[in-house]
Amino acid sequence: MTITASCHCGKNTFRVDGDIPAQLTRCTCSFCSKSAPLRAYYTPEQFHVTSPPDGDAVYRWQTKQVAHHFCAECGVYTYSDSPDFQMDGSWDGVTRSMGLNARLIDGFDAAEAPVTVIDGKNLW
Ligand SMILES: [Zn+2]
């Protein structure tokens, strides 16, 4: 299926060629516990930014390996562009993963969806 998503003001829009995962992901690290995205992970090939880049802003912390994107206008967390970390925090050094904030998906209530917790507080 095709998923569409957008931030609150609409400056950032997305299209995903794929399904909403059965489990969304919540991370407990110091940044995610404050910004609170519920992520749906996709391959870079599935994930498309469909808006001009001027509404995008990026935050990186600690190792700088993860680009946390948010809307420069309305401040909503939009997606992460990160190493494809496994649940134990390991990475093959190559594969990337796109973590769309599922709260942005059109016609979908992420707050009611099942969630897997990543132990980011202890992993990084
Ligand atoms: Zn916005």
The structural domains of the chain, ordered by start, are 2-123 (2.170.150.70)
37 touches 80 (CB < 8 A): yes
Q: How far is the CA of 58 from the centre of ligand 1 (A)?
A: 13
Q: How far is the CA of 68 from the centre of ligand 1 (A)?
A: 14
pLDDT over 80 at 124, yes or no: no
Neighbours of 72 (CB within 10 A): 16
Neighbours of ion ligand 1 (CB under 5 A): 7, 9, 11, 71, 73-74
Q: How far is the CA of 18 from the centre of ligand 1 (A)?
A: 23
**Average pLDDT, rounded, for the chain:** 95
Residue-level pLDDT at 109: 97
Q: How far is the CA of 84 from the centre of ligand 1 (A)?
A: 26
107 touches 20 (CB < 8 A): no
Q: What is the pLDDT of residues 80-104, one digit of tens each?
A: 999 998 878 889 999 999 999 999 9
Q: Which amino acid is at 96?
A: R
